[in-house]
A and B are shown apart, each in its own frame.
Chain A
Amino acid sequence: MSLDLRKIGVVAATEFSSSVRTKSFLISLLALPLIMGGSIALQAFAASRVDVKPRRFVVVDGSGKFAATIAKAVEGYNANVDATKAQRPRFVLEPTPDAPAGGEAARSLALSDRVRAGGLDAYVEIRPGATPDAAPKVEYHSNNPNDDLLRGWLTAVIDSDVRARRYKDAGIDQRVVEGLSRPVVAENLQLAERNDAGSAKKVDPVRTMFVPVILMFVIFMIVMTSGPQLLNSVIEEKMSRISEVLLGSVSPFTLMMGKLVGNVGVSMLLASLYLGAGYGVAAYHGYADVVSPGLLAALILFLFLAVLVFGSLYMAVGAACNDLKDAQSLMWPVMILSMLPMFVWTSVLKNPSSPLSVGMSLFPTASPFLMLMRMAMQPTPPAWEVALSVVLTTLTALACVWIGGRIFRTGLLMQGKTPTLAEMAKWAWRG
């Protein structure tokens, strides 16, 4: 594979300027903040938008012990619902119908029909326990089993009443028990620092969780937007027969490297824009030191390697395809590799030193994302793990560029039938 650095520079400069001049660059530039900000805003909006339609329910109290307590609790609850703020629904306790001729079963059926018809949201059947000490059997029936609001509230009310009765029957003062069984809360602190006279700061979720996740997502989104751009660019050149013109001037490997370098430039520009904006926001909120120079260097290195790995794979797929439709069927192996970090990042966040976290953060195609995330959180990974992940990812990047280059060289002039993955493997093997 011959290389011509000057021509790589010419291809890279054109690729870079062509990319940043397009509308799709602007869209991809805005996509990350829009997706992340949008999802946070949407979740906050959804959390504030509770369904405040009154919940109508019937209590069939077979034990005869709880109906009055529940009715009183409903009054108390509704008294605290502020109708103007619409934060939670009111509860409406409907009168219990008399048992029809068919008995309890017929009443259950009739109540179920009322729920189905929309006249009721739920009904609760309370049966006494087998012994006087046993807990009553509470059955909650509704057409919307995922709506836990009413069920949870009723359970708490009945549970509280049962406890109060048990304390009373046992001759124990409930307030004493509650006072004695107050839970202990362990304060979540960082390790003590010598320069702070042995004191330790409180764990700050912004530093321990928010920043690592944001950094990982930033490079993930950049790689996921830049890779498909390369795929499109190669397919466009192949479809419009520009490839052969280019191959009259440069070797396939030089062409591929030029495109990769141009794409690295686009990715770095995106990263600097995001990080610059992120630094502004962080500094405003007093977190200017949240990304250390070492972490920044790691981000740049891992982003560079990730763009090489996925860029060369996407270009190989693009060169083998005749159009975008073909590409979809060949892209799944690359997609699975690229989605790996998304499958495990929550586990890594919770247990960064677990075998799964260490293994996945050393797995080359996931390493740039997960090792970076681990480096941004506590406990930081040992230096050997970071060094090993850099070495493995670098070797993988070189292998991907080499394999991608061989597939690119063969695929670029192929027309007609789309190759299978096995055929592409053969191209990579034989060159």
Chain B
Amino acid sequence: MTAAIAIRGAVKRFGEVQAVQRLDLTVPKGSLYGFIGPNGSGKTTTLRMIMRILLPDEGEIEVLGDRDTRAAHDRVSYLPEERGLYKRMTVRRLLRYFGALKGARQPDLDRDIDRWLGSMGLSDWIDRRIDALSKGMAQKVQFVSAVLNRPELLILDEPFSGLDPVNAEVLTAAVLELRRAGTTIVFSTHDMAVAERMCDRIFMIYKGRKVLDGSLAEIQAEHGSDTIRVASDAGMDAFGGLLGVRDLRDRGNYQELGYDGDPQDLLRALVDRTRITRFEIARPSLHDIFVRIASPAETPAPEAAHVA
């Protein structure tokens, strides 16, 4: 599979601060790639470098086979995190402008505007000014403006932030539809559940360094063991004196623990002690892995881990 994005040894400094440190990353064509990382970790800087809004101080970045991303500008769309719209323009005029900037032709453009606004439930707002739209509507218009040129690569910086669940669902469906149509999609998010649910591959950057890169299964296999959740009549007392139990936490209706050994042995031991109503072996969540890496206790920048 050829790469939509290939980053090799990219470095970006802002004065004394090294925002991105020797980053290597390959985003395969047709994939849905999630960028995660705490605030200020270098996600937006990386996305801006991919768009060549910022230039790397060292290293090289290839986008859709082109080292000068501007040559691929019309095949790439970008929705920045801090996005704005011309408040006094109508929705139609604004979308025509952004579409034309991306090289979309007028007849196709108008047809796509109608189609996308229809799918977002915004058809009736096409001739209204932007300042008449709600925040959620404006965010959907921004998304439409990014996809009008039928991009091969779509880069979304926090696309779901601030959206209510209904609008988030609409946008999720639109992203998945684009992915089915073959668009490579990269998006950054703070919502680990969204990243787990939607992404083929996940990349985490922390203090400017890559700390995770791979599929969810690969990352889970690499980082942390399984978590066992148990609900029983005895509650916390069920685990007294059991060998191999560690990190026991009471979650109220159930207990969460790690177990050094075969979980089947643990289940047998518990059944002998009390009545078990729930026994679940859970893979470590992305949230857990994220928190483990980025928690204050982990202050020294971790070494880059290449799972893939």
Q: Is the CB of B101 within 8 A of A10?
A: yes
Q: Is the CB of A248 within 8 A of B84?
A: no
Cβ contacts under 8 Å, A241 to chain B: 80, 82-84
Q: Is the CB of B73 within 8 A of A250?
A: yes
Distance of A145 from chain B, by nearest CB (Å): 55
The residue of chain B having its C-beta at the shortest distance from the C-beta of A243 within the complex is B84
Per-residue contact bits, chain B 85-100, to A (CB 8 Å; 1 contact, 0 not): 1110100000001101
The residue of chain B having its C-beta at the shortest distance from the C-beta of A431 within the complex is B55
Q: Is the CB of A249 within 8 A of B73?
A: yes
Residue A190 lies at the interface, judged by CB distance under 8 Å to chain B: no
Contact of A14 among B48, B51, B53, B97 (CB under 8 A): B97
Q: Is the CB of B86 within 8 A of A249?
A: no
Residue A246 lies at the interface, judged by CB distance under 8 Å to chain B: yes
Residue B183 lies at the interface, judged by CB distance under 8 Å to chain A: no
14 residue pairs A–B, Cβ–Cβ below 8 Å: A10-B101, A11-B101, A240-B85, A241-B80, A244-B48, A244-B80, A244-B83, A245-B78, A245-B83, A245-B98, A248-B76, A248-B79, A249-B102, A251-B70
Q: Is the CB of B100 within 8 A of A248?
A: no
9 A-B pairs with the lowest CB-CB distances in the bound complex, closest first? A248-B78, A240-B84, A241-B84, A249-B101, A244-B80, A241-B82, A242-B84, A10-B100, A247-B53
Cβ contacts under 8 Å, A413 to chain B: 48, 53-54
Per-residue contact bits, chain A 1-12, to B (CB 8 Å; 1 contact, 0 not): 010001100110
The residue of chain A having its C-beta at the shortest distance from the C-beta of B76 within the complex is A248
CA–CA, A6 and B101, complex, Å: 9
Residue B188 lies at the interface, judged by CB distance under 8 Å to chain A: no
Cβ contacts under 8 Å, A7 to chain B: 101
Cβ contacts under 8 Å, B146 to chain A: 248
Within 8 A of A (CB), among B159-205: none
Within 8 A of A (CB), among B134-153: 142, 145-146
Cβ contacts under 8 Å, A248 to chain B: 51, 53, 73, 76-80, 146
The residue of chain B having its C-beta at the shortest distance from the C-beta of A240 within the complex is B84
Q: Is the CB of B101 within 8 A of A250?
A: yes
What's the tally of chain A residues with a CB closer than 8 Å to chain B?
Answer: 20
Query: Which of A2, A18, A245, A250 is most buried by chain B, counting CB atoms within 10 A of its CB?
Result: A245
Contact of B53 among A2, A242, A244 (CB under 8 A): A244
Distance of B109 from chain A, by nearest CB (Å): 12
The residue of chain A having its C-beta at the shortest distance from the C-beta of B73 within the complex is A249
CA–CA, A248 and B100, complex, Å: 13
Distance of A23 from chain B, by nearest CB (Å): 11
The residue of chain B having its C-beta at the shortest distance from the C-beta of A2 within the complex is B70
Contact of A242 among B73, B86, B100 (CB under 8 A): B86
Within 8 A of A (CB), among B92-135: 97-98, 100-103
Within 8 A of B (CB), among A206-249: 237, 240-242, 244-249
Per-residue contact bits, chain B 54-74, to A (CB 8 Å; 1 contact, 0 not): 100000000000000010011
CA–CA, A417 and B257, complex, Å: 49
Q: Which B residues are closer than 8 A to A by beta carbons?
A: 48, 51, 53-54, 70, 73-74, 76-80, 82-87, 89, 97-98, 100-103, 142, 145-146
Cβ contacts under 8 Å, B89 to chain A: 18
Distance of A258 from chain B, by nearest CB (Å): 9
CA–CA, A18 and B130, complex, Å: 14
The residue of chain B having its C-beta at the shortest distance from the C-beta of A238 within the complex is B84
Within 8 A of B (CB), among A295-340: none
Distance of A368 from chain B, by nearest CB (Å): 31
The residue of chain A having its C-beta at the shortest distance from the C-beta of B44 within the complex is A244
Cβ contacts under 8 Å, A250 to chain B: 73, 101
Distance of A5 from chain B, by nearest CB (Å): 13
Contact of A246 among B54, B76, B79, B101 (CB under 8 A): B101
Q: Is the CB of A245 within 8 A of B70?
A: no
Cβ contacts under 8 Å, A245 to chain B: 78-80, 83-85, 98, 142, 145
CA–CA, A280 and B102, complex, Å: 44
The residue of chain B having its C-beta at the shortest distance from the C-beta of A246 within the complex is B101
Cβ contacts under 8 Å, A11 to chain B: 101
The residue of chain B having its C-beta at the shortest distance from the C-beta of A14 within the complex is B97
CA–CA, A247 and B54, complex, Å: 10
CA–CA, A251 and B98, complex, Å: 14
Distance of B263 from chain A, by nearest CB (Å): 49
The residue of chain A having its C-beta at the shortest distance from the C-beta of B80 within the complex is A244
CA–CA, A11 and B86, complex, Å: 13
CA–CA, A249 and B151, complex, Å: 12
Cβ contacts under 8 Å, B76 to chain A: 248
Cβ contacts under 8 Å, B70 to chain A: 2, 251
The residue of chain B having its C-beta at the shortest distance from the C-beta of A252 within the complex is B53
Within 8 A of B (CB), among A380-425: 413
Distance of A299 from chain B, by nearest CB (Å): 32
Distance of B177 from chain A, by nearest CB (Å): 21
CA–CA, A205 and B3, complex, Å: 74
Cβ contacts under 8 Å, B145 to chain A: 245
The residue of chain B having its C-beta at the shortest distance from the C-beta of A11 within the complex is B101
Cβ contacts under 8 Å, B53 to chain A: 244, 247-248, 413
Q: Is the CB of B97 within 8 A of A242?
A: no
Cβ contacts under 8 Å, B54 to chain A: 413
CA–CA, A247 and B70, complex, Å: 10
Cβ contacts under 8 Å, A251 to chain B: 70
Not counting A10-B101, A249-B73, A249-B74, a sample of 11 additional A-B residue pairs whose C-beta atoms are within 8 angstroms of each other reads A10-B100, A18-B86, A244-B48, A245-B79, A247-B53, A248-B73, A248-B77, A248-B80, A249-B78, A249-B98, A250-B73
Query: Which of B77, B100, B103 is most buried by chain A, counting CB atoms within 10 A of its CB?
Result: B100
CA–CA, A280 and B78, complex, Å: 51
Cβ contacts under 8 Å, B86 to chain A: 18, 240, 242
Query: Which of B77, B78, B84 is most buried by chain A, counting CB atoms within 10 A of its CB?
Result: B84
CA–CA, A246 and B86, complex, Å: 11
Distance of A19 from chain B, by nearest CB (Å): 12
CA–CA, A90 and B200, complex, Å: 98
Cβ contacts under 8 Å, B102 to chain A: 249
CA–CA, A14 and B96, complex, Å: 10
CA–CA, A7 and B146, complex, Å: 16
